[in-house]
Structure 1
Amino acid sequence: MAASSLKNPPAQQGNALRVIPLGGLGDIGRNMTALEYKGQLLLIDCGVLFPEENHPGVDLILPGFGVIEDRLDDVVGVVLTHGHEDHIGGVPYLLRQRTDIPLIGSKLTLALVSEKFREHQIRGVVKREVTDLERITVGHFDLEFIAVNHSIPDALAVAVRTPAGLLLHTGDFKMDQLPLDDRITDVRSLARLGEEGVDLFLVDSTNAEVPGFTTPERDIAPALERVFSRSKQRVIVACFASHVHRVQQVMDAAAEHGRKVVYVGRSMVRNMGVARDLGYLKVPENTLIDMRDIDKHRPQDVVIISTGSQGEPLSALSRMANREHQVISLKPGDTVVLASSMIPGNENAIYRVINGLTKLGAKVVHKGNAMVHVSGHASAGELLFCYNIVKPRNVMPVHGESRHLIANADLAVATGVPRERTIIAEDGSVVDLQNGRARIVGKVDASYIFVDGSTVGNITESALTDRRILGEEGFISIVTVVNTHTSTITSGPDIHARGFVEGEHVFDSLRPLVVEALENALQEGIDDPYRLQQAVRRRTGKWVNDTHRRRPMIIPVVIQA
């Protein structure tokens, strides 16, 4: 890796396969793994993480691919396991730097990511479509793709063969035995690879703490049926914009009850259009209508499928809850279904939306009070089953928070994998697979890359801290004009504040203290505006702390006349 980005990992040995997670370990999102062999890099996924409340002004968080920016010419391909945002959302930001990196994935996955290239105006992208059981060679890497079941069609696991050993990456998966699209996880191929000998098994950890087996997708149908049967007005269903299976079930229920369907949210319209065009979504005839025509139909004849199930502030559902949507106004008696899980960190935002919807008179149905969502990830029983059929030599849990990774490692140990061969890695851990043994050998910088509007990577933790202070504590500005030749104050101090204590005379007691601090500094011969500003800042900070027990941002300005 780039010398400037390393924290002294040893040089890669001649026949070692190096594995570096650049995201997805410790968070639910920004999944990305780099594999290196003989100087070539193969990337698996490149997703985004959505910001939390402690990331003010941040739109997206990217994987730590800054570590490979000066080695993009060594990248022989990016394997995309499936089309969820936490696996493909970062691809346009990576390809801005080198547009001809080959993208390898299934038909639906490549179609969804292609829509992003149109938005980002990226052209000349090289795409290689693959199907399950297909085997291709990319540089030094021999790749085989295996069908896995997930909450989006066309998901793939990938087996990577090199002379250093066989690595198997599950991607996100579960083992639904009755999937809506009849495409089950290919257990035969997993067992075959196990017979061949899997040297390193990278396994989805999201549901490792959940006992048993994940509930089949089709089991939410009775709950949807009850919602449609009981609702006398509009039904609004919020789910992920890429959850084709969930949208299909809502679409089928709507058609059965004679309701028209409206997509709301740009990503929902885009993704479902792609899924329909490729045949992954079956839309009953005369069911879909345009949002502009929604008022032409009675409320009891309409179903709205919307984005915003995670409480995103600018999403369609949040706008409805805040009475800010330009077309749709919720009415008492409407039913809103949150047909998704709560991603950790989004709970407060989601409950704010639920409260807003409830205040408007809507009945809110969610996972807490009805079975309107099932997970797309394998639970502990399925993971145990996989370990028993694959029998890996080494295991490295991926995709999850620390507690998920540790729980997944414990499952591997329970099936006979030696504890010392279960790798609890972090983003940036450097893992070498050599002679049948995987070990952490170093660390690289895989920290967050923030996207703020059109700005990528220039938002520092210090800037975020400033934003948090401004948002939580407000700011005070003090403007003073001084004559350093006569050591006098000629104007001010003028004190202004936002987000601080309100009141006409709040700062009456502060002004003489600022004057005193400046006059003392001037009499001591200090004529440097920066040092004078520091004197003002110190005195103001002490006053704020003593008087109000607050920590606003203090911005002193001293102008020399």
Structure 2
Amino acid sequence: MPSTLRIIPLGGLGEIGKNMIAIEYKNDIIVIDAGLMFPESDMLGINAILPDYSYLKDKRDKVRALLLTHGHEDHVGAIPHFLEDINVPVYGTKLTIGLVEVKLREAKLLKNAQLNIIQSGDKFQIGPFKIEPFHVTHSIPDCVGFGITTPVGLIVHTGDYKFDHTPPYGEPPDFAKLAEFSKRGVLCLLADSTNATRPGWTKSEKRVGEAFEDVFREAKGRIIVATFASLISRVQQVAEMAQKYGRKLAITGRSMRDNTKMARRLGFLNIPDDLLIDIEQVSNLPPHKVVVMATGSQGEPTAVMGRLARGRHHRLRVQEGDTIVFSAYPIPGNEESVYRIINMLFRRGANVLYEGVANVHVSGHASQEEMKLMINLVRPKFLVPVHGELRHLKEHARLAMDMGIPEKNIAVVENGTPLELTRHSLEIKPRLPGGYVFVDGTEVGEVVWSVMREREELAQSGFFMALVGLSKKGNLSGTPEFVSRGFVDMKRADELLEGAKETIANVISMHGRNPDKLEKKLEDALSRYLYGETGKRPFVKVVLK
């Protein structure tokens, strides 16, 4: 009699980003995707957030493989970190592996990586799991979902998908394979929930090409297109428009240049050599003869669009008459940064097109009617909504119940909550300990929430430091010195500083002969004083000397 199958969501459930799911049977584990998440605006100093895969570190000798659905950052961005900890064979399509190679080469990990190219229609065995990748359409080419035959039953993972009948590149979705899975009987469907709150059908990527036709026909000056570095299909669409309208194409942003070079080598981009120019050559051509593709569509301050908006790009400047296109939706949490960049570009004289004012981007995720169609095609016994905030997962569950799946057969869970499957049951187990793993410069996992709260406190009210001399007898020695940043203008704070000196003198006169905890008493007293005088609570530090 088969044992239970465990499904452990480690990222992407209850949030948008850092997708990772582990499937475990006895002594064998396979992992699907290893993505990262972009930090929210209040996560100061953080570069990225990784899934918490501590569960896998404790069982690393049981992890057999990492399967990749496609090459977007929220599915492959954590791979360099993951392989440093758990170096297992990686399976992905030709383009996905190409994008991963770029990352691993940069991280100096490519030499030891075990990369395996697969394609839709393949069948291969990993331990007790028979893997069948199937073609899906998304906003990037060469995407797959996975049919996984386990000793307990057939699991189908959709990956990111939409039912695009007219994709500009590649084939339509593999409806026949989904129907075949249904005939064999699907125990559990793990399905993309990102657009569960959007009624209707998601527009085809072909619509973006039509919108770009209008942009290129009407623009009198330069065109600058911002998108994700991995959005290869958008690069091809822009290249085709550039060729049609007699413009040269420059690509700026290291990650986008590297990905473009790789995709051309593998045959996923068809761009003539004479169409491409270096970014330094842009200023030598008339504005109506140039189009630039750039990174920074998510408002990242150090990416190309962020530097352009602030006038800090050393090879490119925004000019009056430029048309700038943001061909990407803001990732949840990035909206404020994106719209700030857009406003700054408007101030520099550009005409900016973005979601809501032009059809220059469409979602790569299924809307409600496509989700219903997926359920009808696959007809699973159990459903686990994945890839979405809790509100998306809940709405996906409601749609499934409308389609006839009993509520008891649907598991709405968040990261770290294991599921146990048998042929006849789905059980939700207690949540495992875990949380966010912050990437802070070169440090991974070293920054914890207490540090984040300190950074937030510093950002809101600044800091105030007092250097206080103390004699051997416990008396105040000399005049206290003060250092402050982000709190008050020290040149105009004479009265405030005099009061701070008095506060220090009073505390030392009372407690100076008992130096234990004197620093803490001084800090508490200064905090109360400064709040009373200014209504602000800076981070206060006292150093006795």
Structure 2 partner of 1:7: none
Structure 2 partner of 1:557: 543
Structure 2 partner of 1:532: 518
Amino acid at match of 1:442: P
CA contact (8 A) 2:2 2:151 kept: no
CA shift, 1:282, in A, is 1.3
Which one of 497, 503, 508 corresponds to residue 507 of structure 1? 497
CA shift, 1:17, in A, is 0.8
Pair 1:114-2:84 in alignment = no
- Unaligned runs of at least 5 residues, structure 2: none
CA shift, 1:463, in A, is 0.6
Pair 1:146-2:134 in alignment = yes
Mapped partners of 1:284, 1:486: distance in 2:
82
CA contact (8 A) 2:187 2:423 kept: no
Question: Equivalent residue of 1:427, what SS?
Answer: coil
Amino acid at match of 1:77: A
Which one of 69, 75, 78 corresponds to residue 57 of structure 2? 69
CA contact (8 A) 2:57 2:86 kept: no
Pair 1:494-2:465 in alignment = no
Amino acid at match of 1:384: K
CA shift, 1:418, in A, is 0.4
Pair 1:245-2:222 in alignment = no
CA shift, 1:248, in A, is 1.3
User: Aligned pair in 2 of structure 1 residues 198, 496: CA closer, same or farther (>3 Å)?
Assistant: same
Mapped partners of 2:275, 2:413: distance in 1:
48
Mapped partners of 1:165, 1:514: distance in 2:
71
Structure 2 partner of 1:5: none
Question: How does the TM-score come out when normalised to structure 1?
Answer: 0.95
CA contact (8 A) 2:474 2:508 kept: no
Structure 2 partner of 1:432: 420
Structure 1 segments, 4+ long, off by >4 Å, are none
Pair 1:399-2:391 in alignment = no
Amino acid at match of 2:531: N
Amino acid at match of 1:105: G
Question: Equivalent residue of 1:490, what SS?
Answer: coil
Mapped partners of 1:252, 1:18: distance in 2:
47
Mapped partners of 1:97, 1:342: distance in 2:
31
CA shift, 1:191, in A, is 1.1
Which one of 359, 376, 400 corresponds to residue 412 of structure 1? 400
Mapped partners of 2:362, 2:424: distance in 1:
37
CA contact (8 A) 1:479 1:558 kept: yes
Structure 2 partner of 1:315: 303
CA shift, 1:14, in A, is 6.4
Structure 2 partner of 1:461: 449
CA shift, 1:275, in A, is 1.2
For this pair of structures, how many residues does the alignment match?
Answer: 541
Which one of 114, 139, 155 corresponds to residue 126 of structure 1? 114
Question: Equivalent residue of 1:25, what SS?
Answer: coil
Question: Equivalent residue of 1:286, what SS?
Answer: helix
CA shift, 1:284, in A, is 3.7
Mapped partners of 1:81, 1:55: distance in 2:
28
Equivalent residue runs for 1:325-364 within 5 Å: 325-364=313-352
Mapped partners of 1:239, 1:146: distance in 2:
27
Give deviations 1:212-239, integer Å, cap 9, x for gaps. Answer: 1110111122321221122111000111
Structure 2 partner of 1:291: 279
Question: Equivalent residue of 1:300, what SS?
Answer: helix
CA contact (8 A) 1:14 1:38 kept: no
Mapped partners of 1:132, 1:414: distance in 2:
31
Question: Equivalent residue of 1:237, what SS?
Answer: strand
Structure 2 partner of 1:183: 171
Question: Equivalent residue of 1:203, what SS?
Answer: strand
Amino acid at match of 2:94: K
Give deviations 1:161-216, integer Å, cap 9, x for gaps. Answer: 11112111001011100011241111111111111111111000111111111101
Which one of 67, 70, 77 corresponds to residue 82 of structure 1? 70
Identity of aligned residues (%): 38
Give deviations 1:129-174, integer Å, cap 9, x for gaps. Answer: 1111111101121111110011111101001111112111001011
Pair 1:542-2:542 in alignment = no
Amino acid at match of 2:78: G
- Unaligned runs of at least 5 residues, structure 1: 1-12
The answer to which of 221-230 and 167-176 deviates more is 221-230
Which one of 508, 511, 529 corresponds to residue 518 of structure 1? 508
Question: Equivalent residue of 2:148, what SS?
Answer: strand
RMSD: 1.3
Mapped partners of 1:461, 1:69: distance in 2:
22
CA contact (8 A) 1:199 1:437 kept: no
Mapped partners of 1:533, 1:285: distance in 2:
67
Question: Equivalent residue of 1:508, what SS?
Answer: helix
Amino acid at match of 2:137: N
CA contact (8 A) 1:165 1:436 kept: no
Question: Equivalent residue of 1:488, what SS?
Answer: coil
